[in-house]
Structures are given as C-alpha cells and as structure tokens.
Structure 1
Amino acid sequence: MRDIPSISEAEWEVMTILWRKSPITAQEVIVTLEDDKAWKPKTVKALISRLLKKEAISFVAEGKTYYYSPAVSEDECYRSERKSFLQRFYKGSPAPMLVHFLKDEKLTKEEIHELRRILDEKE
C-alpha cells in the first residue's frame, strides 16, 4: 500500500468536495463551502495548496484556470485514518475498539444482523 498523506479536518472538507465532483476549480470549491463554512477564499486556497504539497490532490492547468482532482481515493484515506486511529488508541487491534463501541452505542436490529453477518463471514 502506498503512503497516504495525513489530512487535517479542514483539508478533509476540501477533499470531500473533490471526491464528489472533480476536476473542479478553486472558485468552485470556495462556492461549495460557502454555505457550510465561514472560510475566506484565501483559507480555501491555502488548504488546496497544502493538499498539493502533500500530493493528496493534483491539478491540470487550462490557461490561467487550474482544475483540481484527488490524487488519493476516499477509500484509501478512510483506510489510512482507520489504521492510524486503531494504532493510537487500541494498539492496532480492532477487537477492543469494537467491544467499546458495541457496549456504548445503541444499535437497531438491522445493524445487529449486519454485524453478525460480517462476523460470520470472517470465521
């Protein structure tokens, strides 16, 4: 597996937009974030710049317009974040995390059946 860059919470907002629609310009990212975030255009452009430096995104220039696309998939990033979380809090083992989760959360019957099905497949 290739190295997936560490993506901050704010950068994740930009990545989510790029995963949903790309290639996309910085202005389109800014407009998309306008309703949810009170970020200035300069902030969004700084986040895009950081993601470029991390090689999490790439761009294609058409004249003076830059079109940005993700260079890493959403699935790869989720997997990397999940592994990092497990390592930091559960020494890399998913079992204790699942036990804590199952004890603390309320699950529907459908969710319980789905979890049983997945666990049965693992045997």
Structure 2
Amino acid sequence: MEELTKTEEKIMQIIWNLDKCLVRDIIDQLPDDPKPPYNTISSVVRLLEGKGFLDYKAYGKTYEYFPKITKEEYKQFTFKKVFANYFDNSAESLLSFMVKKENLSKEEIENLRKIIDNN
C-alpha cells in the first residue's frame, strides 16, 4: 500500500464517507470555494484507482467509484509508519508523548489506564 498525498487523502476521506459516488458527488462534498474543476478531481480519482485504493462500475460514460481499501486498513497502515518512524515502535514513547504534548485531561488519562489494565 502506498502513502497518499494530502489531496488524495482528502478525496479518499470523502469517498469513504460516501461509500460509492460519482466525481460530481466528490466535488459537491468539497468545502473549497470556488470548487476545483471536474477534470482535476477526476484526475485524482484515476490516480487513486491506479494506486489500488478505488474500483469502479461503468454505466456508459459514467463511472461510479467505491473504495477497495477501507478507512480502517489505511489508518492501520499510516499508524504503523508513524509509530515506527517517530516513536521507534515504543508504546511507552507514544503514550508519554500523548500525555505530555496533547494535554490529555485526567479523565482521558484514567481511561487510558483502564484500557491498559484490561489488556
């Protein structure tokens, strides 16, 4: 699996939310104003298809796209990269970072303790 660019990931987030869609459905979901041109989004969608993230059903000249890779699969892939590259595969390093840098509330820290204790 390849890592997505920011633009590709933005488009995939929309497709995961829609489950199946046409290019115009993606454009409708984009918060950008003005909306990007149809051909631009169509090109990104074709790149995602080429990378194995999407498949499609053709209805004449209209293509309905749907994800081949689930959001959960991509989340796991990206987390493994971040975990390895930035935390040296150390859960202790990751949790320490979260507690110190993310300003977790006492309730969130307590919930983490419960999760750890139950596993």
> What's the TM-score once normalised by structure 1's chain length?
0.85
- Secondary structure of the corresponding residue to residue 118 of structure 2: helix
Find out whether 1:42 has 2:52 as its counterpart: no
Letter in 2 for 1:79: Q
- What residue number does 2:12 align with? 15
What is the CA distance between 1:92 and its match in structure 2? 2.2
What is the CA distance between 1:107 and its match in structure 2? 1.8
- What residue number does 1:51 align with? 48
What is the CA distance between 1:120 and its match in structure 2? 0.7
Letter in 2 for 1:86: F
CA contact (8 A) 1:30 1:44 kept: yes
Instruction: List gaps (5 residues or longer) in structure 1.
Output: none
What is the CA distance between 1:113 and its match in structure 2? 2.3
What is the CA distance between 1:75 and its match in structure 2? 0.5
Task: Please list the CA deviations of residues 41-92 of structure 1 after superposition, one character each: whole Å capped at 9, or x if unmatched.
Answer: 2221121011001010110101111000010110110010000111111222
Find out whether 1:73 has 2:70 as its counterpart: yes
CA contact (8 A) 1:5 1:56 kept: no
Aligned length: 118
- Secondary structure of the corresponding residue to residue 48 of structure 1: helix
Find out whether 1:26 has 2:23 as its counterpart: yes
Task: Select between 7-16 and 38-47 the one with higher mean Cα deviation.
Answer: 38-47
CA contact (8 A) 1:18 1:69 kept: yes
Task: Select between 57-66 and 99-108 the one with higher mean Cα deviation.
Answer: 99-108
Instruction: List gaps (5 residues or longer) in structure 2.
Output: none
> What's the TM-score once normalised by structure 2's chain length?
0.88
